[in-house]
Chain A
Amino acid sequence: MVSLRSTILRGFSADLWRGVLVNFRGVDPWVEMISSPIWVLGLVLAIASQNPSILRDPTTVKDICWSIVVFSMISDKLWIVGHMLDREKRSGVLENILMSNIPLSIHTLSPIIVSMLWSLATLGIILITVFPILGANPAPIDPALTAIGYILSDIVAAGIAMTYAPVVIKLRRPWIFTNFFQFTLPLISGIIPQSYAPPEIRGVIALNPLSYPVEILRRGATGSSYIDVQIGEAFMISIAGIAILYMIGMLSLIIVRRIIIKRGV
Chain B
Amino acid sequence: MLAVDARDLIKRYVTKRRRGLFRGEKIVIEALKGVSFSFEKGSIFGLLGPNGAGKTTTVKILATILLPDSGDVYIEGFSVTKEAHRVREILGVVFSADRGFYARLTGLENLIYYGMLYGLSRFDARRRAEELLDLVDLGDSRHRLYEEYSLGMRARLALAKALIHDPSVVILDEPTIGLDPVSSRRIREILRKLSREGKSIMITTHNMWEAEILCNYVAVIMSGRIVASGSQEDLRKRYGGQRYIEIEVLDPPDDLRVGDFEVVRNDGEIAVLRTRSSEDIASSIEKALLEARSLGLRIASVRVREPSLEDIFVEVVGNSTKI
Q: Are A and B co-members of a single complex?
A: yes
A170 contacts chain B at the CB level, 8 A cutoff: no
A264 contacts chain B at the CB level, 8 A cutoff: yes
- Which residue in B91, B93, B99, B116 is a CB contact (below 8 Å) of A91? B99
Distance between Cα atoms of A100 and B161 in the complex (Å)? 12
B149 contacts chain A at the CB level, 8 A cutoff: no
B135 contacts chain A at the CB level, 8 A cutoff: no
Contact (A264, B66) CB under 8 Å given A10-B121, A13-B116, A100-B118: yes
Distance between Cα atoms of A95 and B66 in the complex (Å)? 10
The total number of A-B Cβ pairs within 8 Å is 97
Residues in A with CB closer than 8 Å to B109 are 18, 21
Q: Decide if B89 touches A2 in the complex (CB within 8 Å).
A: yes
Q: Decide if B101 touches A262 in the complex (CB within 8 Å).
A: no
* B contact residues, range: 35 or more
Query: Which positions 50-101 of chain B face chain A at CB distance < 8 Å?
Result: 57, 60, 63-67, 85-86, 88-89, 91, 93, 95-96, 99-101
Q: Decide if B117 touches A264 in the complex (CB within 8 Å).
A: no
Question: In the complex, which of the residues B63, B64, B100, B103 has the most CB atoms of chain A within 10 Å of its own CB atom?
Answer: B100
Residues in A with CB closer than 8 Å to B122 are 10, 13-14
B39 contacts chain A at the CB level, 8 A cutoff: no
A11 contacts chain B at the CB level, 8 A cutoff: yes
Residues in B with CB closer than 8 Å to A97 are 117
- Which residue in A3, A101, A265 is a CB contact (below 8 Å) of B88? A101
Contact (A99, B119) CB under 8 Å given A18-B102, A264-B13: no
Q: Decide if B104 touches A264 in the complex (CB within 8 Å).
A: no
Residues in A with CB closer than 8 Å to B102 are 18, 22, 91, 93
**Which residue in chain A gives the minimum CB-CB distance to B118?**
A100
Residues in B with CB closer than 8 Å to A264 are 13, 57, 60, 65-66
B113 contacts chain A at the CB level, 8 A cutoff: yes
Residues in A with CB closer than 8 Å to B86 are 1
- Which residue in A1, A4, A17, A100 is a CB contact (below 8 Å) of B114? A100
Q: Decide if B120 touches A96 in the complex (CB within 8 Å).
A: no
Distance between Cα atoms of A82 and B61 in the complex (Å)? 28
> B227: shortest Cβ distance to chain A, in Å?
24
Residues in B with CB closer than 8 Å to A262 are 66-67
A139 contacts chain B at the CB level, 8 A cutoff: no
Q: Decide if B104 touches A7 in the complex (CB within 8 Å).
A: no
Distance between Cα atoms of A99 and B114 in the complex (Å)? 10
Please give the residue numbers on chain A whose beta carbons come within 8 Å of chain B beta carbons, in ascending order.
1-4, 6-7, 10-11, 13-14, 17-18, 21-22, 25-26, 91-93, 95-102, 260-265
A10-B116, A261-B64 are known; give 13 further A-B pairs, CB within 8 A.
A1-B86, A2-B89, A6-B119, A10-B122, A17-B113, A92-B100, A95-B60, A95-B63, A100-B88, A101-B88, A264-B60, A264-B66, A265-B60
